[in-house]
Structure 1
Amino acid sequence: MATTHNNASPHNSSFPHVISVTSGKGGVGKTNISVNLACLLADMGKRVVLMDADLGLANVDVVLGLTPERNLFHLFHENASLEDVLCKTPYGFQILPASSGISSMLELDTGQKLDLLESVDAMENDIDYLIVDTGAGINDNMLYFNLAVQERILVLTPEPTSLTDAYALIKVLKIRHGVDRFRVLVNMAKDMAAAKEVYLKLHKACDQFLSGISLDLLGVLPVDKNVRNAIVRQKPFTREFPHSAASIALADVSRKINTWKAPTQLDGNIKFFWKKLLFQS
């Protein structure tokens, strides 16, 4: 399988980072952030695959202006290989596209699941980051993806509904599944004060009603008209407007992510991601 970037470093003994970008509600810019993080990490010479895990309303390919021939439906239901489904982008990374109306992966039989686990062996050695763009809200597929990853980036905005929905997502993942660590990314903030206010409100609610939650403020992206302009053009804003306020802020976030220690245990690798996802009871 081809690597995703010409400057990719040789594979070492550590496993790829497996990261979800998730949210409690739609409209917070989650997919756009996923796409642009993939761009920025690829610019650093990292080998990146972005998986569109919104199986009902897939739109990573739309944001990028791409029309993949195959998607996750063909992988799960028509015996396509991962190499068949992986789609190269002009930005140095690959995507695993989805499509609307895909049935749950949990409907795969045991043989299909085992075949899939066999097929991901090569991808684990060919990438540094698997970014999983989850669906918004609280549903089974979104929960399964967030359970399978190593790190969770929770995107929220200063809007009250975004805050309450983000708390609801944290509550479900904590109480039902024991997930207690999140990286918070505040998007579309009018200023730093507004961003810190919404982050502190979320932090306070978790401290008051949920015990043992770790919320790390990963970054703040300001309101930036260039983001909307790039979406209309179906281009990543970090490429179309690299010196814009949002691009500069997200570049800082990507540099922070690049400092995260690469996983060296089983729960950080790609096979474990698929195993947890496909064999959830």
Structure 2
Amino acid sequence: MATTLSKDKTRPSADSGTGFPHVISITSGKGGVGKTNVSANLAYLLASMGKRVVLLDADLGLANVDVMLGLAPQKNLFHLFHENAGLSDILYPTPFGFTILPASSGVSDMMDLDTGQKLELLESMDILENDIDYLLVDTGAGINDNVLYFNLAVQERILVLTPEPTSLTDAYALIKVLKAQHGIERFRVVVNMAKNMAAAKEIYLKLHTACDQFLSGVSLDLLGVLPYDQSVRSSVIKQQPFAQAFPDSPASQALAGVARRINAWKAPTQLDGNIKFFWKKLLFQE
């Protein structure tokens, strides 16, 4: 399905001072923490606020946003890189109020983009610049090249973890690599599937303490805590965002609070030396 995002000229773009959208990654050190579910539901909640949202499935070899939402796009990023499709051919409007940019699943040569493909993606994203308020980037898990690349290319990083020791150690590993190798120091944290607030705060404080002790300069802001909620699993089976299917559930209410906090973020006033957008005109800006 080819599409062109509608242009609502009565509404300014998210960053009215610069004309640029907010670009935010949702990332994690390990799989199984609910990162993609958080991404899809944040997209739904921001769209419900009247924002123009695109969700990029950046887990390029193991993509599953479309499956989670019960969608069947005909084209994805594989077709951009290998079959000369344009971005407008790939963008897929969902019935949930936001658009997805799907990737492929089970295609091994999508696991690591080469430099030319990265530049091709940067250039192709130009068409979105004036038409969206938020680009949410659902990265893969871990510290492979694609995960690092997408985390470098955004303005804000939301790190999802759960109250489990392996989630904590893998989240720390991702922060360490981004800090040590690329100078990234600011992260927002969402603790997911928390049995109670005490457990959530304990895992956050452990991560904060480790970063404070061994990674000087790293800033960790607790953006929200999402409780363990059976309705989340039920919505996955229904292939529907839990914030839509069960809007009054504890997880939906907690994530709605996260979405409101994100919507209150001010536009950045300067770049810090990394690629902060996907758009090529910033690629060469100092």
Same fold at TM > 0.5: yes
* Structure-to-structure mapping, 1:100-111, within 5 angstroms: 100=105, 101=107, 102-103=109-110, 104-106=112-114, 108=116
Tell me the TM-score normalised to structure 1 length: 0.91
1:10 aligned to which of 6, 9, 12: 12
* Structure-to-structure mapping, 1:248-267, within 5 angstroms: 248-265=253-270
- Contact 2:69–2:241 (CA under 8 A) maintained in structure 1: yes
- Contact 1:218–1:253 (CA under 8 A) maintained in structure 2: yes
- Contact 2:122–2:278 (CA under 8 A) maintained in structure 1: no
Report the Cα distance in structure 2 between the residues aligned to 1:25 and 1:147, rounded to whole angstroms: 18
1:90 aligned to which of 95, 101, 111: 95
- Contact 1:72–1:99 (CA under 8 A) maintained in structure 2: yes
DSSP 3-state at the match of 2:129: helix
DSSP 3-state at the match of 1:197: helix
1:149 corresponds to 2:154: yes
| Equivalent residue number for residue 173 of structure 1 | 178
1:23 aligned to which of 20, 25, 28: 28
Report the Cα distance in structure 2 between the residues aligned to 1:176 and 1:198, rounded to whole angstroms: 25
- Contact 1:152–1:181 (CA under 8 A) maintained in structure 2: yes
| Structure with the bigger percentage of helix | 1
Tell me the TM-score normalised to structure 2 length: 0.89
DSSP 3-state at the match of 2:261: helix
Q: Which runs of 5+ in 1 are unaligned?
A: 277-281
How far 1:121 moved relative to its partner? 2.4
How far 1:73 moved relative to its partner? 0.6
| Equivalent residue number for residue 43 of structure 1 | 48
Name the % identity. Answer: 69
- Contact 1:53–1:98 (CA under 8 A) maintained in structure 2: yes
DSSP 3-state at the match of 2:75: coil
| Equivalent residue number for residue 209 of structure 2 | 204
1:159 aligned to which of 159, 164, 167: 164
Report the Cα distance in structure 1 between the residues aligned to 2:171 and 2:122, rounded to whole angstroms: 32
Q: Which runs of 5+ in 2 are unaligned?
A: none
Report the Cα distance in structure 1 between the residues aligned to 2:88 and 2:269, rounded to whole angstroms: 25
DSSP 3-state at the match of 1:235: coil
DSSP 3-state at the match of 1:9: coil
- Contact 2:25–2:136 (CA under 8 A) maintained in structure 1: yes
* Structure-to-structure mapping, 1:71-90, within 5 angstroms: 71-90=76-95
Aligned length: 272
Superposition CA RMSD, Å: 2.1
| Equivalent residue number for residue 230 of structure 1 | 235
| Equivalent residue number for residue 279 of structure 1 | none
Report the Cα distance in structure 2 between the residues aligned to 1:155 and 1:81, rounded to whole angstroms: 31
DSSP 3-state at the match of 1:185: strand
How far 1:84 moved relative to its partner? 0.4
User: Which deviates more from structure 2 when the two are superposed, residues 72-81 or residues 220-229?
Assistant: 72-81
TM-aligned CA distance change 1:117 to 1:184, over 3 Å: closer
Report the Cα distance in structure 1 between the residues aligned to 2:9 and 2:70, rounded to whole angstroms: 24
Deviations 1:140-177 (A, max 9, x none): 11011111111000000001100011011111111111
